[in-house]
Amino acid sequence: MKRTITKDDPYKVCFVCLGNICRSPTAEGIFQHLVNERKLSSYFIVDSAGTSAYHIGEPANSKSQWTANRHGIKLYSKARRFEASDLDEFDLILAMDQENLKNMQRLSKNGRHLDKVKLMRDFDSQPENGEVPDPYYGGMDGFQNVFDVLKRSCENLLDELEELIEK
């Protein structure tokens, strides 16, 4: 994670969950919103993906979109599957839970990418069990909780990364 970030060499972040329709697109949307608010968009490339192929091409879950919209954030991404080539492409890959972390670690054949694959809640000031819960089968409270966790985590992540920007 520690490298100088410049406009010529933007920092690439990918948020990853299982289906890429709830947690990871919400994290992508929040992080991109924060980057835009701080006028840092030329320093970052932000994406999200899922470790499964269940929802490829679908927009974010309607409950995720509704929750994000309530906070003035739009979720524009379409679900895609996380590929082994993403390990080379991104500087930081953030898994929403242990299972997705393990799935991505398995894709790193020789282990050389393990330092860039982390848990999202590593950046949360209230990490609890270290996982972002999957709200898919729950009610709106679960989606709001996930939004709150991801907002805290994204703010802390961007605070850390902003210190590496060469302006």
Active-site residues: which are they? 17, 23, 134
The whole-angstrom separation of Cα 107 and Cα 89 is 13
Question: Which residues have a Cβ under 8 Å from the Cβ of 102 and sit 6 or more positions away?
Answer: none
Length of the chain: 167
Measured in degrees and rounded to the nearest 5, phi and psi for residue 59 equal -75, 175
Pair type for strands 117-119 and 92-95: parallel
Transcribe 82-114 into DSSP letters: --THHHHH-SEEEESSHHHHHHHHHH-TTSTTG
